[in-house]
């Protein structure tokens, strides 16, 4: 019960969308998660305040840490991968917060920076696997 490839819509000029080389739309998830990670990390390091940073902070906390682990498994079921990503993210966020509280270093901004830096190599690894040319034989 895997994901079936979706039909790629063609434009009026014969130009296909950027994700046309993908097997399906769900395979662009590593790119979206990397964008969320970089934007949230940039907003945090830049000291930006407001609802825009809040939205990216929530998206970061709910998706990025879990996807960095679950995305490596390539389960092939979007609903399962999404739910496991959110659950794993919440667990990793709580463990990270508890470690910082125990060490008396609690700071939400610090947690976001540490978590973003720790998951970044895993996300880059997923993207490097994503961009490898597929064997067409």
Q: In this predicted structure, what is the pLDDT of residue 134?
A: 60
Q: Give the pLDDT band (50/70/90) at residue 75.
A: confident
Whether the per-residue pLDDT at 20 is higher than 60: the answer is no
Whether the per-residue pLDDT at 10 is higher than 60: the answer is no
Is 63 exposed, middle or buried, given 0-12, 13-18 or 19+ CB atoms closer than 10 A?
A: buried
- Residue 67's nearest CA partner among 6, 124, 7 is 124
Helix ranges, the chain (H): 29-45, 51-70, 78-102, 108-130
Domain boundaries, the chain: 27-130
Whether the per-residue pLDDT at 63 is higher than 50: the answer is yes
pTM of the model: 0.74
**Sign of the CA dihedral 1, 26, 124, 62?**
negative
The tens digit of pLDDT for each residue in 29-47 reads 888 999 999 999 999 999 9
- Residue 93's nearest CA partner among 74, 116, 72 is 116
């Amino acid at each position: 019960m895997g994901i079936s490839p979706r039909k790629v819509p063609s434009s009026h000029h014969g130009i296909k969308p950027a994700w046309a080389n993908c097997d399906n739309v769900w395979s662009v998830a590593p790119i979206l998660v990397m964008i969320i990670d970089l934007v949230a990390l940039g907003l945090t390091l830049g000291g930006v305040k407001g609802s825009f940073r809040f939205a990216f902070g929530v998206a970061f906390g709910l998706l990025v840490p879990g996807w960095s682990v679950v995305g490596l498994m390539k389960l092939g079921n979007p609903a399962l991968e999404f739910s496991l990503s959110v659950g794993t993210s919440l667990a990793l966020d709580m463990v990270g917060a508890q470690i910082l509280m125990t060490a008396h270093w609690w700071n939400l901004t610090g947690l976001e920076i540490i978590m973003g830096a720790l998951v970044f190599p895993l996300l880059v690894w997923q993207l490097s696997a994503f961009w490898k040319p597929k064997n067409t034989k």
